[in-house]
Structure formats: structure tokens, C-alpha cells
Structure 1
Amino acid sequence: MASSRVEHMIEVATGPGAGEADGLTAADLLASIRSARDVENQAAAEQLILAARWADLHPPESIHSAATFPVPGCEHEEPIAGDGAPLVAEFCVAELGTVLGISTVAAKKLIGHALELRHRLPRLWAQVHAGAVPAWRARTVAETTIHTNPVLTREAAGFVDAQVAAVAGRIGPAQLDRLVAETITRYDLAVTDPTADPEDGYLSVDPRHVTVHDDDVHFAGTMRIEAEVDLADALDLDRAVAHGAETLKTLGSDESLDARRAKALGDLARTQTALDLHASGVTDASEDGLPPAREMVIHAHFDATLSGDTTVFGPTGRMENGQRLVLLEQIQAWCGDTRTQVTVKPVIDLNTPLTAQGYDIPDQIREQIILRDRTCVFPRCSRPARGCDIDHVVPWDEHAEAEGRPQPGPTTTSNLAALCRFHHRLKTHSPWRYAMVAPGVFEWRSPHGFRFRRDHTGTTELDPPDPPGIPRPRRR
């Protein structure tokens, strides 16, 4: 039934005479859109079932073996849902993520939400599979009940489940937060102040945070900051930013109010940092008596050409923070501040093989691998290479020299890759295998035979694994 709906939708969108001549009325078009939405919701609900079954195939017992001792970094059992949900083998999430085309973190969330719903929010789970609640709405509730602080017991999660299921999942973020707070108080999960007003029980859940979304850099060179602070702090900050924006206008700035407020916040941060250093006894002061602000490191890469004795940079470059485009004029503006410390590093030729004699990786080779790979080279992973381990693709053999054998895993550019700590452990302690087939190009094979190619442009899925007992035809 689902497939016929999808075929009808595709025929409407791409068939001959699509548009005015397709004969569809407005009602027909709305009905097709609704059918497509129903198919999408059904597929999302099915995906939750399959994710939970994948977890069932990888219980903690699947990684335990008799008469063994723990090896540092090896796979362990991990709770990815709340109290009462089963534990899973840590590494199983990676293969599911690569096959689905999502990151390991996203796959971990998917499995965690499925287990949370099935074991701790069973009413909501049933409503999802009855088509009464969309999977995305149920996953929002599961995400909240998994990560609530203090942790919800199974009984407390059941109370939340009953309340949310009663309204068929139609609950907003603020209502959900208040419901969780009421649950915490009802089940005595937090130590409350006996002098506090009972009506303020929701404060048991502390919503305060300041989050800088450094993995999401806008093409304009901006970054989003999200915060939840005390009321008094918010009002004080608003006054300080408003004063700074007005000062910039007085000094001649013709930028919009929003732009001036954003700039004032940055000025406020730099000034406060400088005052902190001044108070701590730093004596290297500028003309106004304040020391330079702490160094902010931005790794930006631009193509350059030599014109006589002058180096000419291209107008656009790439910024490592978030792997985004950056304009040369933006870098010039950022570096123009008198309290900005600028460091120019020498160029490293990415095409020149570098080799070290021992196992340890010298700084120059490490920097070359970081610049070449840009991110962790595991399929779908986007963790910046600068925060990754540098892995020997073919492992270094510490006994080779003593036994008079050639070193199978030398410390050389063609045998090194950037892997985040999780995927480094995965490669070392699981059946995942990979090889470098060209400089900066890697081919991975998962435990069940799925193959992926990874380079600095992203991940490509290669030919699927052979079905059991059916050999793949030879290519001529």
C-alpha cells in the first residue's frame, strides 16, 4: 500500500504534462501530499522498530568472552537510554549510522530513542506504531526523558509517558519541561529547599546554559550563540549590549541595530578578558593600559600566488572551524583589531611525502595530515581533524626491528590518517577495516561487508555486499 502511494506521488511530480496540464485539482494535490506524509511517518515508525531490533542483536553479552582481561580502549557496554532500558554493545551504532547515511552520534540517538520508547514510554511507543503520534514527536519526548537531570526512574518515566500519551503526544517543549519538573518533585528525585515556594518546583530542573554552536559557521563568517541565564543576568547583559550598540552609533557606525548589538557583545567579551589579564598581573600592556586579549585561534586556508615580491591571496578561502567558506576581507577585518594576535604559519606541501623513523608523529607530519584530511576520515564523521588522533592505517609493529623484519606500518604520510578517539578505538578493537587507496582517500569495510569511500568531499557508498551464497558476477 505504501509503495503505490509513493509511485503515485512520483508520477504526479515527474509525469508528462506535469503542471497545469496534469489535470490535478487543488484537492488532489493536497491529498497526494498528505499520503506522502503518511508514508514518511510510517517509514519513521518502522525505522524505530528496526533500530530497537538492531540493539537486541548487540547486547552486552555479545562483547564478553570468557577468560579475558580488559584491554584499554576496547568495546564496552553502554547505556544509551534511561533506567530500565537494556544496555548495548558500544560499537554497534557505527555500522547502523553508515548504512543509514548519518553520523555515529545520530545513530546512537536513534537507537537510544527507540529503546527509551519501547521500554520506558510504552504508551507513546504504541501510539507511534498505531499512527496516532508521529515518530519525530515521540523522539522529542524520549530525548528529554533520557537526559533529564536528575535521572528519571522507570516509574517516573512511566508517569511522563501516561501524561503525554493522554494528549497523543501533542505537547510543546515548555509544557514538557514543566511536566518533567513536576515528575521530579512528585517522585522525590531531587533535594528541594523546604523553604522554597512549592509553585517554583519547576526550578528543580536548571535550564541555564550558554552554548556556542562552533560546528555551524554561517557563510557570512558568523556563529550562533544560544543562552538561558538568570533573569537579572539577562537584563544586565541586555543593558550592556544596548549601551555598546549606542556607543558604536555615536562613534559613526551606520550598521543596523542588530549588527551593532552583535558587535557590542564581542567588544564586551574582549574588554572583560583584557581586564581579567590585567588584574592577574600581566604586564605586557597596550597604549590604553590594557593587555592584549587572550589569543583566539582561527585556522583559515587561502590559495596564494607570488607577484614579484608580493604574495597575493585569493578572495575566498576555507575555515577549519565548521569547514565553511570565508572571505579574505572578513579575515582582514578580524585581524585589524589592535588586541588581535596574528600568527602566520609556514606553508606545508600536502603532496610531499613525509616520514619519521619511530612510532611518534612529529608536529610537521601531524599538521600535514590535519590539513589533508580536514576531519575524521571514518564514514559520515565530521569531527575536525585538529582534535583527532593520528592513526597508523597499517598498525606499527613494535617488534619488527628487534626481529629483523621490515616495519609493516611505518610513520609516513601514506600510512597515517585522522581518526576521532571513538572511531580510532573502533578501528583498533572491532572488525572494521580501512585502507588508503590514494592520498587522502580511504575505503572502509564494515563488519557485515558494507563498503564506503571517504575523502575530503564526504562519504560515498560503494557496491553493496554480496548476498550470502550468491557470488558477484565478474566484471570484464
Structure 2
Amino acid sequence: MTTTSDLRSSTSSPLVEDLDASGILTSIRTARATEDAAAARQLTLAAAWADLHPPESLHGAASFTTTGGLGREHQEPIAGPGCPLVAEFCIAELGTVLGITTTSAKKLIGHALELRHRLPRLWSQVHTGAVPAWRARLVAETTIHCSPALTPEAAGWIDTQVAAVAGKIGPAQLDRLVTETLKRFDLAAPDPAADPEDGWQHVDPRHATIDTHDVHYAGTLHVDADIDLADGLDLDRALTHGAAVQKALGSDLSLDARRAKALGDLARTQTALDLFTQGNAGPARSTADGLPVAREVVLHAHFDAEFMPDGQTMFGPTGRLENGQRLALLDQLKSWCGDSRTKITIKPVIDLTHHLTAPGYAIPDRIREHVILRDTTCVFPWCTRPARGCDIDHITAYDHQADTEHRPQPGPTDTRNLAALCRFHHRLKTHTAWRYEMTEPGIFVWTSPHSHRFVRDRDGSTALDPPEPPGVPRPRRP
């Protein structure tokens, strides 16, 4: 019989159990310092990786770039003016080793180069432990993507100001500092209509951002916006009115929920008005009541279904939307179907266990749809680009001369030889030493130029055992 004390001793480290309150605080502070030092070391290594892959490593590929096609590798500026350029395709391997997307790896290298070359004081503070790496990266992200671009002198002035307070600067303070820098270095022409005494904000903060990739289990997503004062007041009045109307009609939802629904009603009403007034583009599609279709969004929803003994089909309560790989609730889908101005298209189920083939190189729509539904995203490790927007790649290249030379086709147009790859990773596979194979339907094994191997399946990406390091002769002792 296992007692409570036995369970505690088996799940807790004896070193932790022996610590008192003061010891725990000291230990966790040490752990944080170790974590910060490791993050600083990671920035140093990321910059060193970039040093190993300058534009000269492209083998003349910079002059072999095509717009919108599978052009070869080209110079990729990922930090501000004055930082060295980096060979584009080297970023992917660093990302896979770290278990992050290529975009995240690009940001890591870009931040490292921005700090080392344009924010040297902050770079030094990161490595002395005065500023944590995450805070320095926030500053680097701002200076990299500032519009208009910061000159090296302007970036250096920001570096001086931020370093003076040991990097302890918030987003609002940083925005004001960037605005002051743009004015100080005259990096943008002033607005002639602006009052010189009031100053001119060169950085326009207005935006409306809808995070379609992070969906709550309640079927909601986050909306964030900075809009003009007059627009904000008008929107507030419209939402207040919409919430009041819902309450008068008997809604028992909270005020916040009613305001959120009112925002959605505004969006659908505007869509309906737009469709209704587009007479020049042809008649707008309408429903039985003569009103235009309000929702013109194409969504691909997938739900698991179980056939019951009585012949009924039982659907699971949750599914997924291909658009952003988002969570979908069955009740939410039912409410959409119940809207008279919502158009619903039911497509037949595709059996992903069957293999489909086609003659020639072109990929028919039925095979393309099969691959999209099977792979769901780009199959490169840790890439999350939806498959519906990806290229369909022949894993083993199609030989266009095989038929004319009466040879077997090594890369047939077959679902067992096709995979979804986003344009960047398609180019990566085509023009570098990256290789992959499909071991089972939907399961891919990738090998990087430095022999790191990764498995990508429907559950995500996994790194396999790292390659054996090359033999290094041990130094002789005197």
C-alpha cells in the first residue's frame, strides 16, 4: 500500500523538499538567472549561425530569382540597415533544431543581428545579465520594423536611451521614444496640414487586428483595434444601441456578450449592404426572402461522425475549421445553418485511405483535395501554413523525359508521392539538401543538410535522435 508520504517522496526532488521558504526564493532566483544566461547564449549562437551563412554562400543564386515562382535562394534582409545579410535557407534548419517555425527562427536571428550591430549597448547588457533577453528582443523587434526605417545613427540613439535605464522600458514609452527619434533625425517629411506647435506623429497607431489563429474553446476569438476618436465614439454608440435592442427583444445575455453580438451584427449588415449595392458586378445572390446573402465566407468544417444502430448519425460536439486550424463547435455550426441568409454547401466525404493516381504531371482537383484534407498544413516540421494555400509537391521529382524515353516514371502523380508544402519550404526542398519521404499516408520523415531528422504527422512534429557528432581528436596532455 502506497502512503501519502511515499507518494510525495516519489514525485518531489529531495533537494527541493529540504529547502525552506528563503531557500526556495534563492533557488528560483538562481534558476531565473540561469534561464536568462541561456537565452543570451542562444542569441549569440543565432548570430554566429548567421555569420556562417553570408550571401556569398548562395553560389550565385542571388541573380537567379523569379517573382512568384520556385526561384532559387536569394539575399534575405532580416534586420535593420547596417546589419549583415543572411542566406535565406539557413534559417529553416536552425528553426527545426529549436522546434520552432521558420518565421520564429527568422525573428530570433534578426533580433540577434539587430542587437549586436545596431543596439550594441543593449546587447552588452543582455550578456552581463543586466537586461533579460526577452526585453531586449522587444526593443529589437520595434527598431527592425519601424516605418520609416531607422538609420544606424537613429537606432544608436535609441540604444543609448534604452541602455540608460537598463532596458526597463514599456511598450508605450518605447513608442514615444521611436516617435521622438523619427522627429529628431528627420526621417519623415512633416505633414503640411499639421500644426508645428502640436508636433506631428509620424507613427500611425491605427489598426484593427482579428486573431483568427487563436480560438477559445467557447468558439470566440480576440479583436484588438486602435481607431480614430470619432470612429470609436460612433462604434461605442452603435454597440450600446445594439445591446439595448437585444435586451428589449428578450435576450438574457450579459451586457458584454450583447455588445459582442452587436459587433457581429454590424459586420453582417455591412456585408449585406455591400452585396446589395454591387449591381455593376452582376446580381447579388439572395435567399427566399429576397435579401442578399450576408455571410460570404467560405469555411471548411470537419467533424467526426459515428453511425448509431438505429441508422442515425451522431456528430461529435467539436470539430475544426481549415481556416486557421480553428476550433469549431457543433452548436455554433447549427446556428449558422439556421440563419436564412447563410449559404451552406455540403461536400461528400473523401476516403483518405484510398490511393489516387493520375497520368502526367498535372494534379487533378480530386487528388489535390485528397492531399489537402490528409495533410491539413504544410508538412515541413513545425510549419502551420494551411494546406489549402500550399503547393502540392511531388516528393520524388516527376521526370518529364521518362515517357518519351520509355523509362518508368520515378515520381508519379500519386497521393503516395504528393505532399502539401508552402511556397518557402517547397523552394527549400527543391534547391537545397533538405530531403523527405512519406513512410505512411500523412507521416513524413525529413532530413536536414546537417543530418538532423524530424517526423511530421497529424499530431505535430517530433525531433528524432540527433546525429552523431563528428570525431574530434582529443588534445594531448603534456
Scaled by the length of structure 2, the TM-score of the pair is 0.91
Q: In the alignment, residue 255 of structure 1 is paired with which amino acid?
A: L
- Contact 1:217–1:324 (CA under 8 A) maintained in structure 2: yes
Tell which deviates more after alignment, 325-334 or 414-423.
325-334
Residue in 1 that maps onto 2:223: 225
User: In the aligned structure 2, how far is the partner of 1:67 from the partner of 1:238?
Assistant: 51
Q: Distance in 2 between matches of 1:428 and 1:200?
A: 55
Conserved? CA contact 1:178–1:202, under 8 Å: no
Q: For 2:290 and 2:104, how far apart are their aligned partners in 1?
A: 49
Quote the residue 1:408 is aligned against.
Answer: 410
Q: Deviations over 1:93-133 (max 9, x none)?
A: 10001101111110000000000000000111011111111
Among residues 28, 45, 51, which one is paired with 1:33 in the alignment?
Answer: 28
Give yes or no for the alignment of 1:97 onto 2:95. yes
Query: Once the two structures are superposed, what CA deviation does each residue of 1:355-388 show, in whole Å capped at 9, x if it has no partner?
Result: 1112111111111111111111101111111111
Identify if the C-alpha distance between structure 1 residues 283 and 130 changes in structure 2 by more than 3 Å, giving closer, same or farther: closer
**1:20-419 to 2 correspondence within 5 Å?**
22-65=17-60, 72-198=70-196, 200-201=198-199, 203-281=201-279, 282=283, 284-286=285-287, 290-306=291-307, 310-419=312-421
Provide closer, same or farther for how the CA distance between residues 365 and 32 of structure 1 changes in structure 2, counting only shifts above 3 A. Answer: same
Q: What is the identity percentage for the equivalent residue pairs of Structure 1 and Structure 2? A: 68
RMSD over aligned Cα atoms:
2.1
CA distance in 2, matches of 1:68, 1:183: 36
TM superposition shift of 1:48: 0.4
Q: Structure 1 CA distance, aligned partners of 2:60 and 2:293?
A: 57
Q: Does the residue aligned with 2:361 lie in a helix, a strand or coil?
A: coil
Residue of structure 2 in register with 1:455 after alignment? 457
Q: State the Cα distance separating 1:451 from its structure 2 match.
A: 0.3
Amino acid at match of 1:338: S
Q: Deviations over 1:331-350 (max 9, x none)?
A: 11122222111111111000
Encode CA deviations 1:404-459: one digit per residue, 9 max, x unaligned.
11111111110000111110110001100000011110000000010001101011
Distance 1:288 1:397, change over 3 A: same
Correspondences of 1:9-24 after superposition (within 5 Å) = 14-16=12-14, 22-24=17-19
Aligned equivalents of 1:154, 1:315: Cα separation in 2: 55
Amino acid at match of 2:402: A
CA distance in 1 between partners of 2:178 and 2:61 (Å) = 42
Once structures 1 and 2 are overlaid, which stretch shifts more, 232-241 or 199-208?
199-208
SS at match of 2:201: helix
SS at match of 2:398: coil
How far, CA to CA, are the matches of 1:13 and 1:45 in structure 2?
32
Deviation at 1:327, TM superposition (A): 2.5
Distance of 1:68 and 1:314 partners within structure 2: 53
Task: State whether residues 182 and 201 of structure 1, in contact with CA within 8 Å, keep that contact through their aligned partners in structure 2.
Answer: no
Contact 1:219–1:324 (Cα < 8 Å) also in 2:
no
Larger CA deviation: 112-121 vs 207-216? 207-216
Q: Is the 8 A contact 1:133 1:169 kept in 2?
A: yes
Q: Is the 8 A contact 2:36 2:132 kept in 1?
A: yes
User: Do the aligned partners of 1:317 and 1:328 also contact (CA within 8 Å) in 2?
Assistant: yes
What is the identity, as a one-letter code, of the residue corresponding to 2:273?
Answer: L
Q: Is the 8 A contact 2:62 2:74 kept in 1?
A: no
Aligned partner of 2:55: which letter?
A: P
User: How many pairs does the alignment contain?
Assistant: 457
1:425 corresponds to: 427
2: CA distance between counterparts of 1:60 and 1:199?
Answer: 47
**Could you tell me which amino acid in structure 2 is paired with residue 141 of structure 1?**
V
TM-aligned CA deviation for residue 197 of structure 1: 3.1
Whether the 8 Å contact between 1:217 and 1:321 is mirrored in structure 2 is: no
Counterpart secondary structure, 2:424: helix
CA apart distance, 1:25 = 2.0
Write the letter of the residue equivalent to 1:126: S
Shift of 1:280: 1.9
Say if 1:105 and 1:315 are closer, same or farther in 2 by CA, change over 3 A.
same
* 1:445 equivalenced with 2:447 (yes/no): yes
Question: Against the structure 1 CA distance between its residues 416 and 184, is the aligned structure 2 distance closer, same or farther, given a 3 Å change threshold?
Answer: same
Unaligned runs of 5+ in 2: 1-8, 473-478
Whether contact under 8 Å (2:291, 2:341) holds in the other structure is no
In the superposition, relative to structure 1, how do residues 67 and 447 fare at CA in structure 2: closer, same or farther (>3 Å)?
Answer: closer
Deviations 1:7-47 (A, max 9, x none): xxxx99832495xxx34221111111101100000000010
In 2: Cα distance, 1:145 partner to 1:49 partner: 19
Asked if structure 1 preserves the Cα contact closer than 8 Å seen for 2:402 and 2:409, the reply is yes
Contact 1:452–1:462 (8 Å) recurs in 2: yes
**Distance of 1:418 and 1:79 partners within structure 2:** 27
Q: Normalised by the size of structure 1, how large is the TM-score?
A: 0.92
